[in-house]
Amino acid sequence: MRFRILAGCCALVALLPGCGGSHAQARAATHDDLQAIIAVPTSGVRNGASGAPLTGIVVSGEITNNDTQTIRCGNASFVLMHGTNAILPSKTWCAAPALDAGQTAAFSLTFAAPGGGDLTLQLTHPDGSYERHDLAIPR
């Protein structure tokens, strides 16, 4: 539970320009590391606070490290944007938790989130830049 709170705070700090002290301002990445992204609705996602089942979204695809720094594939790297709300994954699976330059791995993320509206998947790169991908959720 404490890890999720810490990961959530770290992700939110990365999203808010000017909140990182001496860190560089967040900016769009010059390249995309995510591809073959598929998003589908799901049910039975557990809410961390109450444990109540909620509807959610499962997002899967491939991540390729197109940079020289190692990329971490985990909760703190991904955020689902629903309007201006940032939602951390409730469950993350990566075929490789860390990818060196040129490596590719499959990933799957589960979010307790509404199925409608404008949804965007965001990946934060090791240099602080980010990439965003609009998600099309089938009904």
Residue 111's closest CA among 76, 72, 80? 80
Residue 22's pLDDT band, with cuts at 50, 70 and 90, is very low
How do residues 26-57 score in pLDDT, each as one tens digit?
Answer: 677 777 889 999 999 887 666 656 666 678 89
Higher pLDDT, 99 or 24: 99
Mean pLDDT over 79-93 rounds to 91
Handedness of CA 25, 30, 33, 35 (dihedral sign): positive
What proportion of the chain, given as a percentage, has pLDDT over 70? 72
Retrieve residue 36's tokens.
């073959």
How do residues 103-113 score in pLDDT, each as one tens digit?
Answer: 999 999 999 87
Residue 88's closest CA among 122, 115, 65? 122
DSSP 28: B
Residues 6 or more apart in contact with residue 31 via CB below 8 angstroms: 66, 67, 131
Mean pLDDT over 55-66 rounds to 92
